[in-house]
Amino acid sequence: MNTLRRWWVEAPATTFFTAVAVIVYLITAVESRSLMENLHDSALGSAWVLYGPEVSTGGLDRLRALGAVFLHIDLGHVAINSFLLMLVGREIEKFAGTPLYVAAFLAGGIGASATVLWMDWSQPTAGASGALFALMVLLVGVARVRGGDLRAPLTLVAVNVAYTFLAPSVSLWGHMGGLLAGAAMVVFFVHRDVRVRWVGVLAVLAAACGAVLLV
């Protein structure tokens, strides 16, 4: 309990996003009666999975671009993403503050979803990996302005990019979309002027939302 309390104090949004992902996973697992194929026969999974033919119908189905960020396909998927989110997201949130961090997380997640919809429209996709790729790029920027060792964050990005191309089950365009969103934000995100930070991050978020609406 003390650890959870400390996490909440240090990084409330990161803790909240992680909790949402875990809770959503548990709901889909109960609905599907499976820990490893939890999107099968899950009403929530069917409603939130990112799938171009559904999103292009318009209306509330466009919210799949956000809902899919918190949806995961099995126990290993949610466990790895939750671990990385607490590891990377907490550092980003402590650096930037909660409001800007939330905007950056959403820009990365929705940006990844938009990229999938434009580049891999017919492939069902789910997971926080796109948002995480954006956060990993931002972590490189944070380490640089802090004068820290860049080898660790750069290695983290490189390993995950390599995994993207080696593992057949991951979403290439989801990961690349998050990477591009992070790259578009990073110079603004670490700028000394808070107004510049907000302008850059909100511009990427607006572009991501616009891209989803244009599908």
Q: What domain range includes position 167? A: 2-213
Instruction: Answer yes or no: are the C-beta atoms of 93 and 13 closer than 8 Å.
Output: yes
Q: What is the pLDDT of residue 24?
A: 97
Helix ranges (H only) for the chain are 2-10, 12-32, 43-48, 52-55, 64-67, 75-84, 90-96, 98-119, 129-145, 151-166, 172-189, 194-213
Q: What is the pLDDT of residue 1?
A: 67
Residue type, 101: Y
Rounded to two decimals, the pTM is 0.95
Cα–Cα separations (whole angstroms), residue 37 to 2, 28, 32, 60, 75: 33, 9, 7, 25, 9
Phi and psi, residue 22, nearest 5°: -70, -45
| CATH code for the domain of 109 | 1.20.1540.10
d(CA 78, CA 215): 28
Maximum Cα–Cα distance across the chain: 50
What is the full per-residue pLDDT of the chain (215 aa) written as tens digits?
677 678 788 899 999 999 999 999 999 999 999 988 888 889 999 999 999 998 877 778 899 999 999 999 999 999 999 999 999 999 999 999 999 999 999 999 999 999 999 999 999 999 999 999 999 999 999 999 998 889 999 999 999 999 999 888 889 999 999 999 999 999 999 999 999 999 999 999 999 999 999 98
d(CA 102, CA 111): 14
Q: How many CA atoms lie within 13 A of 96 on its CB side?
A: 34
d(CA 127, CA 48): 11
Domain count across the chain: 1
Other Cβ atoms less than 10 A from the Cβ of 133: the count is 30
Q: What is the pLDDT of residue 168?
A: 81
